[in-house]
Amino acid sequence: MSFDAFDAWWWPFLFILIAGWLATDIWRFAGVVLGGRLTEGSDILVLVRCVATALVAAVVANLIAFPSGALANTPLLLRVGAAAAGFACYLSAGKRMIVGILAGEAVLLAGLLLF
């Protein structure tokens, strides 16, 4: 039952509601219920954070390796180079996000204009 499985107008909305809203707000509601019973440093939360981080990282890597839209027409090496340059600038600028994002964009645009 993929996003395009049914031709009905409501199906994408139901898909988003179940796989998006329910899957997300269930944790927010659980957080209200738990109140202050779980501590930030508890070990199970470390595991949860690790799995969540690896998941999002996979999405990020796939967006760079197998992009859609206008980014799909750019060379793989340029995309990886832009992302790596952005991350390197972010680290060397004392973890300032805005520096990393601007540097990555600058490398991509420079590459597109030069080649």
Partner 1 sequence: MCGNVCHLSASRAYWYARGARATISVPGLIIASAFVGFAGLARGTGLTLPETLFMTTVVWALPAQVILIGVILSGGGLLPAAFAVTLSSARLMPMVVSVVPEMRTGKTRPLTLYVLSHFVAVTAWVLAMEHFPHVPRPMRTTFFGGLGTTLISINLVVVTIVFTLAAKLPPAVSAGLFLLTPLYFLTSLWGSARERASQHAMLIGLAMGPIFHLLVPNFDLLATGLVGGIGAYGFRRFTARREAA
Q: Which of residues 17-76 bind partner 1 (CB under 8 A)?
A: 17-32, 34-38, 40, 45-71, 73-74
Q: How many CA atoms lie within 13 A of 88 on its CB side?
A: 7
Q: Does 6 bind partner 1 (CB under 8 A)?
A: no
* Kind and range of the H or E run holding 86: helix 76-92
Give the amino acid at 75. P
User: What does the alpha-carbon distance between residue 113 and residue 103 come to, in Å, rounded to a whole number?
Assistant: 15
Can you state the angle between helices 43-65 and 76-92, rounded to 10 degrees?
Answer: 140
* Kind and range of the H or E run holding 17: none
71/77 with CB nearer partner 1: 71
Placement of tokens 């779980």 in the chain:
38
CB of 81 to partner 1, least distance (A): 11
Q: Give the one residue of 75, 77, 92, 112 binding partner 1; rule: CB under 8 A.
A: 112
CB of 83 to partner 1, least distance (A): 6
CB of 23 to partner 1, least distance (A): 4
Q: Give the one residue of 7, 8, 77, 113 binding partner 1; rule: CB under 8 A.
A: 113
CB of 85 to partner 1, least distance (A): 10
